[in-house]
Copies of this chain bind each other. A is one copy, B any other.
Amino acid sequence: MIEAYALENLPEIRPGDDLAALLRPLAPLRSTDVLCVAHKVVSKAEGRVVDLASVVPGERAREWAAAWDKDPRAVQVVLDESADVVRADGGRMICRTPHGFVCANAGVDLSNAGAPGRVVLLPLDPDASARALRAALRCAVVITDSFGRPWRIGQAEVAIGCAGLAPLEDPRGGLDRDGRELQATHVAVADQAASAADLARVKAAGQPAVRLRGLERHVLDHDGPGAAALVRARADDLF
């Protein structure tokens, strides 16, 4: 049995806030719990917020913004946060971040930034953010973001940071019920945890943190490899 419970009444987070201290009183946490936290509050606490008034767009940002009717300063921030742009078409920018994540707008988010004219970036090192929260809260932690997917409509929440949870389950080498070896079926446990948590919260109601219970078999007694283990090497990717 898995239980997903959305923590309530987290205040608006500001740069420099001690996020763990603000989360701790909202729900009892066991060492076998997995706390999934939407990156936006992590990013805000870490000061990963940009005031668009401070951004000077370059030529490429101005061209794309003109073609797509976007704010050239927002386009510039996306370019600044991108290691490369995988696809750019019709106003959609699919970017690879320095972490290796491939997602729209390099994860830069215009909504709920805390004030108009501000955008929220991804944490610089979401696995480190997860490790710090795990150390403070003494439970497994997943930092999440919602990514679009090729070929499918709609966004699904995935893990961009992870500590204390095995991000992947590898049943290879095990036998299926017919006694044959299971095919290559790594399960993306941390991504599925992020998605399960997302179902339990109401985004606009300010519920960025969800406690998952029942994942004991995936919980580690150490930080583990983090969500970095979920990033496919470019040489090994078909897309």
Q: Which of A48-56, A124-132, A197-205 is the contact stretch?
A: A197-205
Residue contact B204 to A195, C-beta cutoff 8 Å: no
Q: A residues 120-170 with Cβ under 8 Å of B?
A: 146, 149-158, 167-168
Q: Which residues does chain B contribute within 8 Å of A168, judged by CB atoms?
A: 153-154
* This chain's copy number in the assembly: 2
> Chain A 67-85, CB within 8 Å of chain B: the 1/0 string?
0000000000000000000
Q: State A80–B91 Cα separation when bound (angstroms).
A: 37
Residue contact B87 to A151, C-beta cutoff 8 Å: no
| A191 within 8 A of partner (CB) | yes
CB distance from A27 to the nearest CB of B (A): 11
Q: State A12–B178 Cα separation when bound (angstroms).
A: 11
| A19 within 8 A of partner (CB) | no
Q: Which residues does chain B contribute within 8 Å of A156, judged by CB atoms?
A: 156, 187-188, 191-192, 195
Interface size on A, residues (CB 8 A): 70
CB distance from A66 to the nearest CB of B (A): 20
Residue contact A204 to B174, C-beta cutoff 8 Å: yes
CB distance from A24 to the nearest CB of B (A): 20
CB distance from A50 to the nearest CB of B (A): 15
Q: State A200–B4 Cα separation when bound (angstroms).
A: 12
Nearest 10 interchain pairs by C-beta:
A154-B188, A196-B196, A150-B239, A195-B195, A192-B195, A2-B4, A102-B151, A87-B238, A154-B186, A111-B176
Can you name 16 A-B pairs with beta carbons within 8 Å? Answer: A4-B214, A87-B239, A89-B238, A96-B151, A111-B185, A116-B180, A150-B239, A151-B231, A151-B237, A152-B232, A154-B167, A175-B204, A176-B204, A192-B195, A192-B198, A200-B214
Residues of A with Cβ closer than 8 Å to B?
A: 1-6, 12, 87, 89, 92, 94, 96, 100-102, 109-116, 146, 149-158, 167-168, 171, 174-178, 180, 182-183, 185-189, 191-193, 195-196, 198-200, 203-204, 206, 214-215, 229-232, 237-239
